[in-house]
Amino acid sequence: TGEVVRFYITNVANSRTFNITFEDTKIKLVASDISRYEREDWIPSVVIAPGERYVVDVQFGSPGNAIIANTIQAINHFRGEFYPRVDTLSNVTVSNQKNGEDLSGSFELLRENPEMASDIENLELYFNELPDYELETLVRAQNLPTPIVISMESDTLYVPPMEWNDAMPMMNWLSTAEQVTWILKDKASGLENGDIRWQFEQGDIVKIRIFNSPDSFHPMNHPIHLHGQRFLVLNRDGSRNQNFVWKDTAILPVGSTMDILVEMSNPGEWMFHCHIAEHLHAGMSFNFVVR
């Protein structure tokens, strides 16, 4: 009872975003992909997309069995219904016995990270600049069986910002990368996926705006991932981020616009892609070079 446990969480699923809840606990957000947060914070759950990593401290309360679960608001597209769904990920036995050092006092403190604050101060002059590049996420489908096309037309009457559950397993099973292409489109050049060839110099600070179009055939949320570099999520839909952390993966909901500021610090040829494996396999990636 009262024990504080640090969890290092990585989402290695190919497509599923989790909303991880800890029963009868307090959860403190500490760090994400590449750094600690600017400030520690209390959170109700951990929303984690494929490829993301989070570090949280959890204090367990009453003795008994505490469930770690994926707690989501699922959707049935065809019936137009939301319904709660809870899948147990793990069970934790909480005993009366005291184990190890009592960390309750430090757990209650929300610490600040001076290194992150210094990074923000050095980069703040770029925050309000116009984006250097703009990307749009789309999907293109061809030669799908007629029943799937008809069902998809009704399916997209409403598209949730986040797709927590697989509401169309038959469509996913029947379609292939030969029929469905997931797209990253450079708005300035019109180039898509592997035809995009961005070039940078080491030390460049690059602002990229990414828009997840809700008007494509079947829009979905995308975990956007950059290899070899780190970035800050500056804002989402015009709302400035209030607690920065260095990332290499960030979720982009349907209909949302996200501005990221990338520090091009690592020379080489690197990949920019969606971290949903099926989307990557169906074309949603390109390479960029840092010289």
Looking at residues 187-216, what average pLDDT do you find?
Answer: 97
What type of residue sits at position 112? E
- The span from the CA of 244 to the CA of 147, in Å, is 46
Looking at residues 254-279, what average pLDDT do you find?
Answer: 98
**Which one is predicted more confidently, 103 or 69?**
69
pLDDT of residue 128: 96
pLDDT of residue 170: 57
* 125-290 is classed CATH 2.60.40.420: yes
Q: Is 278 exposed, middle or buried (0-12, 13-18, 19+ CB in 10 A)?
A: middle
Q: Which segments of the chain belong to CATH 2.60.40.420?
A: 4-113, 125-290
Backbone angles phi, psi at 65, to 5 degrees: -110, 120
Whether 175 shows a pLDDT value over 70: the answer reads: no
pLDDT of residue 96: 86
pLDDT of residue 55: 99
Structure tokens at 71: 């707690």
Residues in the chain: 291
pLDDT of residue 62: 83
Q: What is the pLDDT of residues 115-138, one digit of tens each?
A: 999 999 999 999 999 999 999 999
Location of structure tokens 């640090």: 6
Looking at every residue in the chain, the average pLDDT score rounds to 91
Backbone angles phi, psi at 154, to 5 degrees: -80, -30
pLDDT of residue 30: 98
- The span from the CA of 132 to the CA of 134, in Å, is 7
Superfamily of domain 4-113: Cupredoxins -  blue copper proteins (2.60.40.420)
Backbone angles phi, psi at 206, to 5 degrees: -125, 125
- Helix H or strand E segment including 272: strand 268-274
Distances in Å between the alpha carbon of 253 and those of 201, 212, 232, 237?
30, 7, 17, 10
pLDDT of residue 215: 86
Three-class secondary structure of residue 43 per DSSP: strand
- The span from the CA of 233 to the CA of 178, in Å, is 33
- The span from the CA of 42 to the CA of 29, in Å, is 6
Whether 197 shows a pLDDT value over 90: the answer reads: yes
